[in-house]
Structures are given as C-alpha cells and as structure tokens.
Amino acid sequence: MFVIDNYILAVVFCFITMLCWGSWANTQKLSSEKWPFQLFYWDYTFGILFITFLFAFTFGSFGDVGRDFISDFYQADNHNLMSAFIGGIIFNFANLLLVIGIEIAGMAIAFPIGIGIALVLGVFTNYIAQPEGNPYVLLVGVSLVAIAILIDGVAYKKILQNSNKSAFKGILISLTAGIAMGFFYKFVATSMASNFITPQTGKLTPYTALVIFSLGIIISNFLFNTLNMYFPLSGEKVNFKDYFRIGTTKLHLIGILGGVVWGIGMSLNILASEQAGPAIAYGLGQGATLVAAIWGVFVWKEFKDLPSKNKWLIPMMFLLFVSGIGLIIIAKLV
C-alpha cells in the first residue's frame, strides 16, 4: 500500500488536508438556495464513503509494504474496528452540528468557532494519547489559534449589533460541534498501527480505518440526520421523498463532491499521522479554520456588515491563525 516516509511530505499532505477541510463547505453554500441542507448532507456522507472505498481498493491494496485492505480487515481485532467506527459516529454528530452552524451563521463564523475549538481539544487529546512534538511550542501555537477564535466571535458580535440576527443559537451550535469534533480523531488514530510499513497484528492500516470510519458516519446518519430532517434545528422540515422529488443530478453531485473533498483531506491526514504524529497532523489539518474564514470573508462577504472601526479584527484574526499553525508545524522540529 502507499505510505508516507518523511515529515516534509507529511506536512504537505496536511496542508492539502487544510485546503480540503476548509473548502468543502462551499458546496453546501452553492446548493443552499435550492436544496435543504439536511438533504445535501446525505450526498455529502455518500461522497465520504465513496472516496474511502476507492482509496482502500487502490492505494490501500497495491504495493510491497503494509497489508492490503481485504487482508487487513479480516485480521483486525474487533475493538480496533469498533474504535474507528465510534470515531465515525462522533465525527458525524459533530459535523452535522457544524453544517447547521454554517446554515445559521455562515462559514466565517461557524468554522473558526467550531473547528477552532476542535483544533484546540484535538491537539491535546491526541498528544496525550501519543506524545510527539515539543509540548510548549504546541501550547503556544494552540493558544494563538484560541485567541483568533475569540476575535472571530467578537467580530461576529459587532456585526449582530447592527442586525436583527441572534448570535446565541449559531454560536452555541458551533461550540457544541467543536467540542464533539475534538474527540473523534483519537478513536481513529488509536485503531491504527503505529508503523504503517509493518503494521502490528490486530491493528488497522489507515485505509481500513478510514473505511470503517466512513461506515460509522453513514450508519449513524440514519439516526442523526433523520432526526434533523423531521425535527430541524434550522430550516424547514423535510422528508425522504423530498430527496428524490427536489434533488436534481447537479444538486446530488454537488453534495457528493463536498464529501469527496472532505474525504480526500481526511485520507491524506491519516496517512500523514505516522510521520507527523496524530496531534500535529490533526492540528495542521484543522488549520482549515483559516481557509474557511478566507472563503467566508473574501468570497461570500460574510463580514461585509462589520463596522469600519472594527475592520482591524479580521487581519488580526488571520495573523494569529497563521502564527499558531506555523508553531504547530515547528513543534515537531524543535
């Protein structure tokens, strides 16, 4: 199977993850006027499932190192399979809340708050499970990201002072999403072998872990998203008939594309975790907050109503994000 054999390539893969995780929500924005986000989310999860299976039967099944996907699945211990599956359930719960947060507050708000908190929690939980990198440099980097999140919240509050929107619901949902999102990655990382080239017996290769993870997403979606369809936290109530009645081929493909983009990012990040360590790989990937904020500010104009005297908050937020992410990278080298 294909593996990464050096830290520099691992960082490159984490940057691609950052771009993917920070950009997939554009597909939700593109379809939101014609397509209820609950129905979009079904296609999104199908996209994740598709790309993880594709990678498993291609990159995860050929080559001279590791174990091929089928062999790896049959030798895996049940508790490792369950760990990856639980990771998918936790992620799906958190990500669905994030999608709702985006629907209410926009990308430039929901992402920095939700994923920023996930970054902070995820770095620490993964570092405790598998310590890699200088803890003091990691702490400073994560602290800068946390301050950037606070600045983003302040900017949002300034916007809401001049509108009729309520900040509480969007921020609360994004906070809840971030707290849950901070824990899913540890379950996936725990299920995997520490050495991808010669994986331990009973442990999973990254490709198998990703497939089981995506199955956890799909199966839990029948509970989480079904509840969201019939008892929505935002938007109108929809049903399964609407998925076929309203949806066009184009709308379905947009949702699947969103899942594929996110799934590519997740796959590359998991592959990078052996060389970078789970804490650093996850922390860099969740630099997606910066990418999403760029989309929200410059493309979707979500901060256009920010008072002129508070415009300085935006460049300050970006500066802190960039500085924090840079320190997370350096933590492995010092």
163 pLDDT more than 70: no
DSSP state of 192: B
pLDDT the model gives residue 165 = 56
Over residues 183-207, the pLDDT tens digits come to 999 999 999 999 999 999 999 999 9
Q: Is 3 left (phi over 0), alpha (psi -120 to 50) or beta?
A: beta
Max intra-chain CA distance, the chain: 61
Average pLDDT, the chain: 90
Report phi then psi at 204, rounded to 5: -100, 145
Over residues 18-75, the pLDDT tens digits come to 999 989 989 988 988 789 999 999 999 999 999 999 999 999 999 889 999 999 999 9
pTM: 0.89
DSSP 205-255: PHHHHHHHHHHHHHHHHHHHHHHHHHS-SSS----HHHHHHT--HHHHHHH
* Range of lowest pLDDT (156-160, 180-184, 205-209): 156-160
Over residues 70-107, the pLDDT tens digits come to 999 999 999 999 999 999 999 999 999 988 988 887 77
Buried residues in 66-91 as b, exposed as e (16+ CB within 10 A): bbbbeebbeebeeebbebbbbbbbbb
DSSP state of 321: H
CA torsion 148-164-94-69 (nearest 10°) is -90
Residue where the block lists tokens 């008939």: 241
Over residues 271-329, the pLDDT tens digits come to 999 999 998 998 888 778 788 878 888 888 878 888 889 999 999 989 998 899 889 88
The CA distance from 140 to 328, in Å, is 8
The CA distance from 285 to 20, in Å, is 9
Q: Residues 6 or more apart from 226 whose CB is under 8 A from it? A: none
Q: What percent of the chain has pLDDT over 70?
A: 98
For residue 40 the two structure tokens come to 């979009």
Q: Is 165 left (phi over 0), alpha (psi -120 to 50) or beta?
A: beta
The CA distance from 184 to 189, in Å, is 9
C-alpha pair distances (Å), 124 with each of 121, 165, 328: 5, 34, 12
Say if CB 50 and CB 265 are below 8 A apart.
no
* Range of lowest pLDDT (213-217, 242-246, 294-298): 294-298
What average pLDDT does range 9-24 have in this prediction? Answer: 93
Q: How many CB atoms lie within 10 A of CB 332?
A: 21
C-alpha pair distances (Å), 66 with each of 6, 28, 184, 257: 16, 37, 24, 29
Q: Give the H/E segment covering residue 108.
A: helix 107-129
For residue 153 the two structure tokens come to 């919240």
pLDDT the model gives residue 287 = 78
* Range of lowest pLDDT (79-88, 246-255, 258-267, 291-300): 291-300
DSSP state of 199: P
169 pLDDT more than 90: no
Most confident of the following: 131-145, 149-163, 252-266: 252-266
DSSP SS3 for 204: strand
Kindly give the interhelix angle for 135-160 and 278-285, rounded to the nearest 10 degrees.
Answer: 20
> Residue 167's pLDDT band (boundaries 50, 70, 90)?
low
